[in-house]
Structure 1
Amino acid sequence: MEKQPAAPADPEKVDPAGGGQQPEYRQRETWANNAEFVLSVMGFCVGLGNVWRFPYLCYKNGGGAFLIPYAICLVTGGVPMFFLEVGIGQFMGEGGISVWKLCPAFTGIGLGTTVISFLLNIYYIVILAWGLLYMFHSFQSPLPWATCDNWWNTELCSTFANGTANGSAAAVKTDPVVEFWEHNILGLSSGIDDVGVPQWRLVLTLLLAWIMVYFIVWKGIKSSGKVVYFTATFPYIMLFVLLVRGVTLPGAKLGILFYLTPDFGKLLEAQVWIDAGTQIFFSYAIALGSMTALGSYNKYNHNFIRDCTLLSVVNSCTSLFAGFVVFSVLGFMATEQGVTVDVVAKSGPGLAFIAYPKAVSLMPLAPLWSILFFVMLLTLGLDSQFVAVEGFVTAIVDLYPQYLRVGRRREIFILVTSLVGFLLGLFHVTNGGVYVFTLFDYYSASGMVLLWFCFFECVAVAWVYGGERFYDNIQGMVGSRPGPWLRICWTVLTPLLTAGIFVFSLVTHTPLKYDGYVYPRYADAVGWMLALLSMVTIPGYLVIRLVLTPGGSLLQRWRTATAPVLEPHQLRARDRPQVPMYQLRH
Structure 2
Amino acid sequence: MDSPNAPSYSSENNEPIEMVDPESEKRLLAEDADMANSNPPFASPDDLEVKVKRSDSDVDSEAPIQREKWARKMDFILSVAGGFVGLGNVWRFPYLCYKNGGGAFLIPYAIFLVLGGIPIFFLEVSLGQYMSEGGVTSWRLVPLGTGIGYASMVIVALLNIYYIVILAWAIFYLFQSFTAELPWAKCGHYWNTPCCVDTYIKSVANNTSDNFTTVASTLATTAATFTTAATPTYNATLCNGTKTSPETEYWERRVLGLSKGLDEVGTVRWELALCLLLAWVICYFCIWKGVKSTGKVVYFTATFPFLMLIILLIRGVTLPGAANGIRFYLTPDMSKLADPQVWIDAGTQIFFSFAICLGALVSLGSYNKFNNNCYRDCVILSLVNSGTSFISGFAIFSVLGFMAQEQGVDVSEVAESGPGLAFIAYPKAITLMPASTVWAILFFVMLLLLGLDSQFVETEGFITSFVDLFPRQLRRGYNREIFIAITCAVSYLIGLTMVTNGGMYVFQLFDYYAASGVCLLWVAFFETFTIAWLYGAERMWVNVTRMIGYRPIPIMKYIWIVGTPLLTTATFFYAIIKFEPLVYNKTYVYPEWGTAIGFVLAASSMIIIPIYAVYRFITASGSFTERLNMLITPQLRRSHIDYGREDKAQGHSQLRKVFGSCDPNSFDSDDEEVVHAITVKSIQPKFDFNEGENSSHASDPPAYDTVENYPNTAF
Task: Find 1:162's aligned residue among 206, 218, 223.
Answer: 223
Shift of the 15–225 alpha-carbon distance from structure 1 to 2, 3 Å rule, reads farther
Distance 1:533 1:389 in 2: 19
- Larger helix percent: 1
| 1:151 aligned to which of 167, 190, 200 | 190
The aligned residue for residue 477 of structure 1 is 547
Aligned counterpart for 1:528 among listed residues 596, 599, 613: 599
Instruction: Tell me if structure 1 keeps the 8 A contact 2:518–2:572.
Output: yes
**TM-aligned CA deviation for residue 297 of structure 1:** 0.3
Question: What does 1:38-437 align with in structure 2 at a 5 Å threshold?
Answer: 38-160=77-199, 162-163=223-224, 164-166=227-229, 172-437=242-507
Encode CA deviations 1:133-161: one digit per residue, 9 max, x unaligned: 00000000210000102110111111116
Question: Can you give the 5+ residue segments of structure 2 that lack an aligned partner in the other structure?
Answer: 1-21, 37-64, 200-221, 653-701, 703-715
Match of 1:537 among 608, 614, 633: 608
CA separation in 2, counterparts of 1:455 and 1:226? 34
**In the TM superposition, what is the alpha-carbon distance from 1:446 to its structure 2 partner?**
1.0
Distance 1:577 1:526, change over 3 A: closer
Call closer, same or farther: CA 1:578–1:522 in 2, change over 3 Å: closer
CA contact (8 A) 1:119 1:444 kept: yes
Q: SS where residue 324 of structure 1 aligns?
A: helix
Counterpart of 1:208 in 2: which secondary structure? helix
- Shift of the 251–554 alpha-carbon distance from structure 1 to 2, 3 Å rule, reads same
Which residue of structure 2 aligns with residue 549 of structure 1? Answer: 620
Which residue does 2:629 correspond to in 1? 559
CA contact (8 A) 1:58 1:64 kept: yes
Q: Find the residue that maps to 1:412 and give its secondary structure.
A: helix
In structure 1, what is the Cα distance between the partners aligned to 2:549 and 2:599? Answer: 45
The CA distance in 1 between the partners of 2:25 and 2:442, in whole Å, is 54
User: Are 2:141 and 2:535, in contact at CA under 8 Å, matched by a contact in 1?
Assistant: yes
Q: What do the CA deviations read for 1:190-233 (whole angstroms, capped 9, x no partner)?
A: 11121111100000000000000011111011111100000000
Tell me which of 569, 578, 581 is aligned to 1:511: 581
Instruction: State the alpha-carbon separation in 1 of the partners of residues 573 and 373 from structure 2.
Output: 36
Is contact 1:186-1:431 (8 Å) kept?
A: yes
Q: Which moved more, 1:487-496 or 1:22-31?
A: 22-31
Letter in 2 for 1:402: R
Q: Quick one: distance in 2 between partners of 1:146 and 1:216?
A: 35
Total equivalences in the alignment = 568
Deviations 1:506-535 (A, max 9, x none): 111112122222222322221111010000
SS at match of 1:162: coil
Given the two structures, how large is their TM-score scaled by the length of structure 2?
A: 0.77
Contact in 2 for aligned 1:472/1:572 (Cα 8 Å): no
Output the CA distance in 2 between the equivalents of 1:245 and 1:567: 54
Call closer, same or farther: CA 1:101–1:499 in 2, change over 3 Å: same
The 3 A distance-change label for structure 1 pair 63 and 437 is same
Unaligned runs of 5+ in 1: 1-13
Q: Which whole-Å CA distance do the structure 2 matches of 1:189 and 1:360 have between them?
A: 28
**Paired letter, 1:236:** F
Deviation at 1:560, TM superposition (A): 1.3
Checking the alignment, whether the CA contact within 8 Å between 1:287 and 1:453 is kept in structure 2 is: yes
Shift of 1:475: 1.1
Aligned alpha-carbon RMSD (Å):
2.0
Shift of 1:575: 6.9
In the alignment, which residue of structure 2 is the partner of 1:3? none
Q: Secondary structure of the residue that 2:187 maps to in structure 1?
A: coil
Structure 2 CA distance for aligned equivalents of residues 352 and 224 of structure 1: 27
The corresponding residue for 2:661 is: none
1:165, CA displacement in angstroms?
Answer: 3.1
> Which stretch of the first structure deviates more once superposed, 381-390 or 473-482?
473-482
Cα shift readout 1:151-190 (whole Å, capped 9, x = no counterpart): 1011111111634532698972111000000000000001
How far the C-alpha of 1:580 sits from its partner, in A, is 10
Taking a change above 3 Å as real, the CA distance of residues 223 and 338 of structure 1, as seen in their structure-2 partners, is same
Does the 8 Å contact 1:114/1:395 carry over to 2?
yes
Instruction: Name the counterpart of 1:439.
Output: 509
Secondary structure (helix, strand or coil) at the match of 1:31 reads coil
Instruction: Letter of the 1:105 partner, please give it.
Output: L
* CA deviation vs aligned residue, 1:256-282 (integer Å, no higher than 9, x gap): 111000010010011000000111011
User: Is 1:571 equivalent to 2:622 in the alignment?
Assistant: no
CA distance in structure 1 between the partners assigned to 2:69 and 2:642 by the alignment: 21
* 1:330–1:341 CA contact under 8 A, matched in 2: yes
CA distance in 1, matches of 2:383, 2:578: 31
Amino-acid identity (%): 57
Give, as a single letter, the amino acid of the residue that structure 1 aligns with 2:107.
I
CA 346–86 in structure 1, closer or farther in 2 if over 3 Å, else same: same
Deviation at 1:339, TM superposition (A): 1.6
Which residue identity lines up with residue 409 of structure 2 in the other structure? V
Name the larger-Rg structure: 2
Contact 1:102 1:566 in 2 (8 A): yes
Q: What CA deviation, in whole Å up to 9, does each residue of 1:281-328 have, x standing for no partner?
A: 110000000000000000111111111111011000000000000000
Q: Distance in 2 between matches of 1:273 and 1:430?
A: 36
Query: Is the Cα contact below 8 Å between 1:97 and 1:399 reproduced in 2?
Result: yes
Report the equivalent of 1:11.
Answer: none
SS of structure 2 residue aligned to 1:456: helix
8 Å CA contact retained: 2:637, 2:643: no
Q: Summarize deviations over 1:223-259 as a string: whole Å, max 9, x none.
A: 1110000000001110111011111111111111110
The answer to whether the 8 A contact 2:636-2:646 is kept is no
